[in-house]
């Protein structure tokens, strides 16, 4: 009975022992395999970044550094090191002198743009100021809005300018009221009346004896408008010439080699820039500067200046001021040294000029002058015998024959 109980107990415990042994075996196997799995590196795809920095598994953490300043101060220091573009220095503001000469600019909105850049050109010149009296929507057609031939005389009396700059015409492509009839632009009656109005304007300026520049119109994006501006420029040129003014042609500065309108083109330094606005009418900042550049040179000539910053009028080679073509200043008295006479003996303290007395042409005198010693005349036939006709050399002695110093062997 005892033996039968033991056998039954063994049979009952055998499955338990098998389960326990399997669990121990699994635990031992995992303990051996887990570290190997944990230590096995995980390979990733290679990239060019690996050339400049190691993998994360190969990086060594730097030792912890003790902060020398609080994080807030460190952040402020980092912000202070950010570089910013240097600001342009402000241009010096020059106060105009009370007696500064005035440049009067009249016309439409394009004349207003020209006036702003002319003001920039002469900003550092205290003796020249630019006065803008332009009317943006004005022209020669709508005299009911602003009558330039009638108003210009009053402006000249008030401003008393040294020069007048005129630029208008961009608003004149419209019907003109002539009596009871509204004439279409550039018709025969319209063109004749337009010429009369521009000529009347020029006569008012010339009657005040003020030199003026008539700046022509540029090309526009619209082809029809461009062709109209070409016709207007011919009228302006004729009116300026009949009124003793000068026409400033700016056309070539805003067209290409074929005469077509351009938005981009060379600036005053020859660099390609955008000259016209998106509407194809107005100017950009570079375009305004180029417009003023065309007007600057003849304007300096009228004012008698050599540069926009010059304060004194330039002088002609005759010593006359060129402030204006109408009047010239009196020549400046300059102390001049009288010319020296070449035949004046007092120049070197002597009494007679060299060569005034007859020269001593005798051989003895010539020898004393040049310090030459007396020499015997050359023998006939010698190399230094320059007598003419030449004399014959004496014949050699017959008894001795020719004598020579040569050694005969």
* Closest of 252, 296, 254 to residue 117, by C-alpha: 296
Q: If you average pLDDT over residues 170-185, what whole number do you get?
A: 94
Residues in the chain: 409
Please state whether the predicted TM-score (pTM) of the whole model is above 0.75: no
When divided into structural domains, the chain yields a total of 1
Contacts of 265-271 with C-beta under 8 Å, sequence gap 24+, read 268/293
Give residue 198's domain range: 101-303
Instruction: Tell me the pLDDT band of 214, cut-offs 50, 70 and 90.
Output: very high
User: Is 141 part of any domain?
Assistant: yes
State the CATH number of the domain containing residue 208.
3.40.50.1110
List pLDDT tens digits, range 375-403: 566 777 777 777 777 666 666 544 444 45
User: Cβ distance 320 to 313 under 8 Å?
Assistant: no
Q: Is the pLDDT of residue 118 over 60?
A: yes
User: Is 380 part of any domain?
Assistant: no
Q: Is the pLDDT of residue 306 over 70?
A: yes
User: Is 250 part of any domain?
Assistant: yes
User: Is 107 part of any domain?
Assistant: yes
User: Is 82 part of any domain?
Assistant: no
Q: If you average pLDDT over residues 182-193, what whole number do you get?
A: 95
User: Is 211 part of any domain?
Assistant: yes
Burial class (CB in 10 A: 0-12, 13-18, 19+), 400: exposed
List pLDDT tens digits, range 313-340: 654 444 444 444 444 444 445 455 555 5
Instruction: Tell me the pLDDT band of 125, cut-offs 50, 70 and 90.
Output: very high
């Amino acid at each position: 009975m005892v033996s039968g109980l033991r056998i039954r107990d063994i049979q009952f415990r055998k499955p338990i022992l098998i389960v326990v042994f399997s669990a121990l075996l699994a635990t031992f196997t995992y303990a051996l395999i887990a570290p190997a799995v944990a230590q096995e590196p995980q390979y990733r795809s290679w990239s060019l970044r690996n050339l400049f920095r190691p993998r994360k598994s190969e990086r060594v953490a730097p030792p912890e550094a003790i902060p020398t300043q609080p994080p807030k101060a460190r952040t402020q220091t980092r912000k202070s090191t950010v570089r910013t573009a240097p600001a342009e220095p402000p241009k010096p503001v020059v106060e105009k002198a009370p007696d500064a000469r005035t440049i009067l600019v009249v016309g439409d909105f394009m004349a207003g743009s020209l006036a702003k850049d002319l003001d920039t050109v002469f900003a550092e010149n205290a003796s020249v100021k630019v006065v803008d009296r332009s009317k943006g929507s004005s022209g020669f057609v709508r005299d009911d809005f602003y009558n330039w031939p009638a108003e210009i005389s009053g402006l000249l009396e008030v401003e008393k300018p040294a020069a007048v700059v005129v630029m208008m015409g961009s608003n004149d492509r419209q019907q003109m009221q002539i009596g009871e009839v509204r004439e279409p632009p550039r018709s025969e009656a319209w063109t004749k009346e337009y010429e009369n109005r521009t000529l009347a304007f020029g006569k008012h300026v010339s009657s005040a004896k003020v030199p003026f520049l008539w700046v022509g119109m540029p090309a526009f994006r619209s082809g029809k408008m461009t062709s109209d501006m070409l016709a207007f420029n011919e009228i302006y040129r004729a009116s300026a010439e009949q009124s003793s003014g000068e026409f400033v042609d700016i056309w070539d500065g805003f067209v290409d080699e074929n005469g077509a309108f351009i938005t981009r083109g060379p600036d005053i330094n020859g660099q390609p820039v955008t000259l016209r606005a998106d509407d194809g009418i107005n100017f950009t900042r570079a375009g305004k500067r180029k417009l003023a550049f065309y007007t600057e040179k003849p304007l300096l000539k009228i004012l008698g200046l050599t540069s926009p910053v010059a304060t004194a009028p330039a002088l002609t080679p005759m010593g006359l001021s060129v402030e204006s073509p109408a009047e010239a200043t009196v020549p400046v008295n300059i102390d001049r040294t009288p010319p020296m006479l070449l035949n004046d003996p007092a120049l070197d303290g002597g009494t007679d000029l060299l060569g005034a007395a007859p020269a001593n042409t005798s051989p003895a005198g010539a020898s004393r002058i040049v310090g030459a010693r007396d020499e015997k005349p050359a023998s006939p036939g010698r190399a230094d015998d320059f007598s003419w006709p030449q004399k014959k050399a004496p014949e050699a002695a017959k008894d001795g024959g020719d004598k020579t110093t040569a050694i005969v062997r």
